[in-house]
Amino acid sequence: MVEEFKLELSKNSNVYGASAIYYHLMKRLTYFILTGLILSSCSNKQEGTALKEDISPLWKPIERISKSHLRGLHMANDSVAWASGTNGTVLITSHGNSWKDVSIKDAESLDFRDIHAFDDKNALVMNSGNGLSIYRTSDGGSNWTLVFHEADSNLFFDGMDFAEGGIGYAYGDPIDGRMALIESIDFGKHWNWINEKFRPVLDSAEASYAASGSGIKVMDDQLWIATSGGKKSHVYNRLREFSQLIPNETPLFSEAGAGIFSLAFWNMNEGVIVGGSYIDSTDASSNCAITNDGGKTWELITENNPRGYRSCVASKADGSLLLAVGRTGSDYSINKGKTWVANGDEGYYSCAIKNRSGWAVGRNGKMAKLILQ
- pLDDT, one tens digit per residue, over 135-152 is 999 999 999 999 999 999
Write down the pLDDT at residue 50. Answer: 33
Write down the pLDDT at residue 231. Answer: 94
Mean pLDDT (the chain) is 88
Per-residue pLDDT band for 32 (boundaries 50, 70, 90) equals: very low
Q: What residue type is assigned to position 82 of the chain?
A: W
d(CA 36, CA 152): 73
Q: Would you call 177 helix, strand, or coil by DSSP? A: coil
Is 342 in contact with 307 (CB distance < 8 Å)?
Answer: yes
Residue 341: C-alpha distances to residues 174, 179, 212, 303, 372 (Å) = 36, 35, 21, 11, 14
- pLDDT, one tens digit per residue, over 84-99 is 999 999 999 998 779 9
Above 50 in pLDDT, residue 9?
A: no
Q: For the chain, give the percent of residues with pLDDT over 90.
A: 81
d(CA 310, CA 348): 9
Helix H, strand E, coil C: the string for 123-176 is EEEEECCCCEEEEEECCCCCCCEEEEEECCCCCCEEEEEECCCCCEEEEEEEEC
Is 226 in contact with 263 (CB distance < 8 Å)?
Answer: yes
Residue 300: C-alpha distances to residues 20, 266, 273, 338 (Å) = 69, 18, 9, 9
CA 7 to chain centre: 63
Write down the pLDDT at residue 142. Answer: 98
Q: What residue type is assigned to position 45 of the chain?
A: K
Write down the pLDDT at residue 54. Answer: 62
pTM: 0.85
- Which one has a higher pLDDT value, 17 or 259? 259
Write down the pLDDT at residue 45. Answer: 36
The phi, psi pair for 48, rounded to 5°, reads: -60, -40
β-pairing, 112-117 vs 100-101, is unpaired
Nearest in space to 25 (alpha carbons), one of 5, 1, 6, 10: 5
Write down the pLDDT at residue 53. Answer: 58
Q: How far does the chain reach from its first CA to its final CA, in angstroms?
A: 48
Per-residue pLDDT band for 110 (boundaries 50, 70, 90) equals: very high
Write down the pLDDT at residue 36. Answer: 43
Q: What residue type is assigned to position 246 of the chain?
A: I
Above 90 in pLDDT, residue 161?
A: yes
- Domain residue limits, the chain: 1-52, 54-371
Rg of the chain in Å (alpha carbons): 27
Annotation: CATH topology of 54-371: Methylamine Dehydrogenase; Chain H (2.130.10)
Q: What residue type is assigned to position 139 of the chain?
A: D
